[in-house]
Amino acid sequence: MTQAQSYEAWRITYQSDEQAARSAFDTAEMLRQELLVAAITSLERDVSQALTERDDATDFIDKILDEVLGQDRHEWTSAYDWDDALADVEVKMAALKSGKCLHQIAEPAAQGLDAARYHWLREQHDKGDDSVTIFIGDEQHGPGHLDAQIDEAIAAQAKQGGAA
């Protein structure tokens, strides 16, 4: 074999190897793209299913709350969330179990919560906490004598014929 024939044989082999390598690369790239498309499709399907399940669960909870608390219950807001709804259901169920009217259970619970809030507010006010400001009417009141200020406001309202 001559040198030219050897070179030609090498060139044909090289081109053949290069074509095989390109073909293998193209096949690998095609498979990679197919796998990506399949993974994205699967992920989109899973997310869609999760959203559907979440929406179905929320609808189910809304229907239960409508049955337990009535159609005129609070709407979901940042001020009324799952914990508030659960607390309302617990009060309603306690009333049903005890045979008492709902207001016989809810009012004392609400009064206890109001009392706890008031005691906290009074403590902050009496400590002189500058981050807690008390307004009664249009007047801002400083630390101390919160009870007397509230009593005065209640008395003034009563004189005007308003309910406290």
Give the 3-state secondary structure of residue 54. Answer: helix
- 86 inside domain: no
| Whether this model's pTM surpasses 0.75 | no
Cα–chain center distance at 28: 44
Q: Which helix (H) or strand (E) holds 136?
A: strand 134-136
Nearest to 144 by CA among 116, 115, 123: 123
Structural domain count, the chain: 1
Q: How confident is the model over 63-101, as pLDDT tens digits?
A: 988 888 888 888 878 888 888 888 888 888 877 777 666
- 163 inside domain: no
- 48 inside domain: yes
How many helices (H) and strands (E) would you count in the chain? 4, 2
- 107 inside domain: no
User: Which residue carries 């807690």 as its tokens?
Assistant: 132
pLDDT at 142: 57
- 44 inside domain: yes
The range of the structural domain enclosing residue 68 comes to 1-73
Q: How confident is the model over 111-153, as pLDDT tens digits?
A: 666 677 777 776 776 676 666 666 666 666 655 566 677 777 7
- 149 inside domain: no
